[in-house]
A and B are shown apart, each in its own frame.
Chain A
């Protein structure tokens, strides 16, 4: 399904190149420091990095908060068929839904995981990996690995 993958300059290695935008600058600055940045709404609820407003109130007044980096495995899939051309160099890889110790769920990449040894509920820990090829690196990306 991704026969044109070779034509995509980003389709190199396990993590295609990701560039920052203005809204994500704080998130990527934190990742470069080895921190996973969440957001805290006015009522104290924690939101994921991509939520730009609190659902109940609509408030966009969100404060950055550094996650502990601890999580547990909710579910996972071993992806064999690249869903996008950029990911042709990554398959097979493991995608996972994880529950952060602080509560929010994230859909992430799992690294250094033996797919046959994974189990729901097992502890995970955030890690940070470079994106893109060595000669044109992009932003640092949070991923998770078995703790």
Chain B
């Protein structure tokens, strides 16, 4: 038995969890993950910390947890690709013998009692009262947040391939149906394509129901060597493969910006390391900051040809009972937004067979994506309940 495995998972309450610091949330998640694994905090010799928009968790977390004997400690930020990057770093440290039990954690707390979810991400620049210089020109031009840039990416796909808003709606509807089985999901009431179409515009072509929720909370996983995992409390989730690819600021003549993402390199790299292909994938847990992110990631991973994502997601293919179990906890669109730890946490739950009402029928190969920036940063994990065959 070779490689690394995820042996512990810890989640805090999600959503409107107020009056908790990022460090406090992160510490709770790490303690829960360590306990879940049947380990003690003192068994950890590695800690990789990350946070979202608030950047409220750093390496001081180690002190808060009383971890005074670590051999690996870092704060990592690869935007939405971070979760996969952390697990890969933990696996590499374990393979190199420089760590044996590594906790990877994410916490964020952008929601406050008196502001809307949109404000949590939308007005971080409002402290500056003067727009100045060419940067001020850009802000006054008005493309100032991810909603608008992802809308322009989706529009480009629509213009090139005929993708429709109703096809994007299929992603949202399928994931909401999955969310009904997830007690942690912030939104569990079923929605229809008509509900999606009637939801208000955020940045046309994106409706409100194309956009993820906003959450306070924390998630942690513990990674050990696969051989050690067999002796621990819970079923091991083996890391068969990992990949990452980064392509920032590709906005220039001839660019495939918005239409082809770094997933096209990251996905095949992870699958190659795992020794499987997309046809072997039973469960997809895809980063879904927007419905469009799911559609373009499916294309870039090779589940369908470039441009055919709109057709691919139709007729409930991604919904419970559909051909491809995808974002089985409701994803970031319906459950909770913990950046890449949303798909990672649900992948661990599915690989363990702990999905309850939402458990996918098969879980031998679980594919996990992370996407960051404006479709600029990508990570991929291939996970399985089975030990990886020696290569």
Contact = CB atoms under 8 A, between A and B. Distances in A.
Contact of B137 (A4, A83, A141): A141
B129 interface: yes
B31 interface: no
B139 A107 contact: no
B203 A75 contact: no
B202 A80 contact: yes
B152 A77 contact: yes
Contact of B118 (A1, A9, A85): A1
Given A50-B134, A83-B148, A131 B201 contact: no
B132 A109 contact: no
B131 A19 contact: yes
A53 B140 CA distance: 23
Interface in A107-129: 107-109, 115, 119-120
B281 interface: no
Interface in B85-140: 115-119, 122-123, 125-126, 129-140
B132 A17 contact: no
Interface in B337-354: none
A137 interface: no
B138 A81 contact: no
B373 to A, nearest CB: 14
Contacts of B252: 103-105
Contacts of B139: 16, 84, 86
B390 interface: no
Contacts of B151: 77, 79
Contacts of A15: 140
A34 to B, nearest CB: 15
Contacts of A85: 123, 126
Interface string B236-263: 0000000000000001110101100000
Interface string A71-113: 0001111111101111100101101110100011101110000
Contacts of A104: 252-253
Interface stretch (B42-50, B52-60, B155-163, B166-174): B155-163
A81 to B, nearest CB: 5
Query: Which of A78, A92, A96 gathers most chain B CB within 10 Å?
Result: A78
Given A2-B123, A18-B140, A80 B133 contact: no
A16 B255 contact: no
Contacts of B272: none
Nearest to B135: A50
B203 A8 contact: no
Contacts of A103: 252-253
A21 interface: yes
Contacts of B202: 80-81
B142 interface: yes
B62 interface: no
Interface in A1-60: 1-4, 8-10, 15-21, 23-24, 27, 49-50
B228 interface: no
Contact of A105 (B130, B148, B159, B251): B251
A91 to B, nearest CB: 9
A137 B47 CA distance: 52
Contact of B140 (A92, A119, A131): A131
Contacts of A95: 141-143, 148, 152, 203
Given A75-B155, A97-B251, A16 B131 contact: yes
B205 interface: yes
A143 interface: yes
A20 B132 CA distance: 5
A97 B153 CA distance: 10
A47 B290 CA distance: 31
B140 A83 contact: no
B204 interface: yes
A6 B200 CA distance: 22
A72 to B, nearest CB: 10
Interface in B45-87: none
23 contacts: A1-B122, A2-B119, A3-B116, A8-B126, A10-B131, A17-B130, A18-B131, A19-B136, A21-B133, A23-B133, A24-B134, A24-B137, A50-B134, A79-B204, A81-B200, A95-B148, A104-B252, A105-B253, A105-B257, A107-B138, A107-B251, A119-B159, A131-B140
Interface of A: 1-4, 8-10, 15-21, 23-24, 27, 49-50, 74-81, 83-87, 90, 92-93, 95-97, 99, 103-105, 107-109, 115, 119-120, 131, 138-139, 141-143
Given A3-B119, A49-B137, A77-B148, 10 more contacts: A2-B122, A24-B132, A27-B134, A76-B152, A77-B143, A79-B203, A84-B125, A95-B148, A103-B253, A141-B140
Query: Which 10 residue pairs spanning A and B have beta carbons closest together?
Result: A1-B118, A77-B151, A78-B204, A21-B133, A24-B133, A120-B159, A80-B201, A95-B143, A83-B145, A75-B156
